[in-house]
A and B are shown apart, each in its own frame.
Chain A
């Protein structure tokens, strides 16, 4: 069953096209990444999915509700983590959560229970009554994630969840997102961090104004090495060396191997079965390759740049 479905979606602001021709589907329980350079229209896309912007091209549904006519009902089913936490500085963490819970229509009793549970879960319980302005950047971001969950939405949209955070806070926030992903929630993760997408998402859309492509993520295996061969080699001969799980890519010229032994011994064994090795390196992030390749193609076509949107 689909949680999000968009067809040829687009949005312009005056003469400036923020994004166009976006079509993708996201299944319920899927964690979907939204990748692209600065000004690629990722935040605009997220805001359309959150019911903040009405698309002026195409159509789409979120949680079964139309993006144009869904209005308040759609916003009730979506949890949005905005790029900046955005809370009231003089109100405490709990007061802020209760205020937003009320606006989402959560009853006072449920709001109190959920706020307490989320503050506990995000290690903010001891700071519940501290004014928001006094919280650290990481705490603020965790509180913003708690707000996105307070009304138990069907779809959670996360806009740059780790931007501007120090490494410790980044790790905390990533761990939280990982936990949400494990809970089979429908998540859309909009970020620059490829590692985040690779670790958390099952698929990622590359956006550079328009949709460049949707990439299915093959989760990298730990300890895997990439061995470049001088010429294509038969897999059977390489398997005979019994080095560990292996896969040939790029017309047999690249060997992806998770060796059972040390790398020098594996290289020696491969040479022994006739392989001519050009280079050995840790297996690179396949998402990064795909991303950079698609981005280069998009730039060649004049579709991606660092300035937001294209002018009509």
Chain B
């Protein structure tokens, strides 16, 4: 696995020297953290009690106070956004994995070395997963800290992270990162243009965003049962996609496919 380690190191070094890619990877998480925390801080300070009561009523959240209800509504409804991140971020990197090598004409020299197919897949995947998970976890920690700080004066407690939040961050995020990455590797192995591969892979976050919108509109309520089922589904999809990625990664076809 020395080859995989070398590939990881090389990919991370390239990422570190790519400010545009780093910016594109951090801009979405920053927005996902900063906007709701600022909104929450404003609501806690300035929103009329009737508005908070209305929110509590709309989302049917059992809470001890309007502020606690506000936090519960935000935590419940904003959690899916933190599930979009671990899918979306590795796609930004992994979709470039094979297509990018092909575009830079580095694929042939890379495949001419004794490094194995599995080492290349593992190396590329870990290099996409590590920064994606790190950014997701940092964003999640900052969000929780921001929410707790915003409501501290009213609640004198740290409502986040709660159980679902911890489950989503520690269990679902790695599984979804793996899913996003494996999907991007599969798409990247079949589609030559890295940008097209990125776009195709990125469409997988659309259903999750759809669920988020429906939940925000009060149409559904995603509870622990949903997230548990989601985790099991992600696990099955991960195994299937990784097997497919290894099967599709044919050294010869990668060199000869140009469409």
Residues of A bordering B, CB below 8 Å: 13, 47, 50-54, 71-73, 75-76, 78, 80, 82, 84-91, 95, 99-100, 102-105, 131, 144, 147
Contacts and interface: CB of A to CB of B under 8 A. Distances in A.
Contact of A52 (B6, B17, B112): B112
A52 B13 contact: no
A90 B11 CA distance: 10
Contact of A54 (B3, B104, B111, B252): B252
Q: Is the interface of B mostly helix, strand, loop or mixed?
A: helix
Contacts of B256: 13
A91 B112 contact: no
The 6 closest A-B pairs by CB, nearest first: A72-B114, A103-B113, A86-B105, A84-B105, A90-B17, A102-B6
A86 B251 CA distance: 17
Given A52-B252, A53-B252, A86 B2 contact: no
B114 A104 contact: yes
Contacts of B111: 52
B10 A86 contact: no
Given A52-B252, A53-B255, A76-B114, 14 more contacts: A52-B108, A52-B112, A54-B252, A71-B114, A73-B114, A75-B113, A80-B109, A86-B106, A88-B106, A90-B17, A91-B17, A102-B2, A103-B114, A105-B2
A75 B114 contact: yes
18 contacts: A50-B112, A52-B108, A52-B251, A53-B252, A53-B255, A75-B113, A75-B114, A78-B112, A80-B109, A86-B104, A90-B17, A99-B6, A102-B2, A103-B3, A103-B110, A103-B113, A103-B115, A131-B17
Interface string B2-19: 110010001001100110
Contacts of A71: 114
A144 B110 CA distance: 12
- For the side of the interface on B, what is the size category? 20 to 34
Nearest to A71: B114
A43 to B, nearest CB: 10
B112 A51 contact: yes
A131 B111 CA distance: 22
Contacts of A88: 10, 14, 104, 106
Contacts of A95: 13
B116 A72 contact: yes
Nearest to B112: A80
A76 B111 CA distance: 11
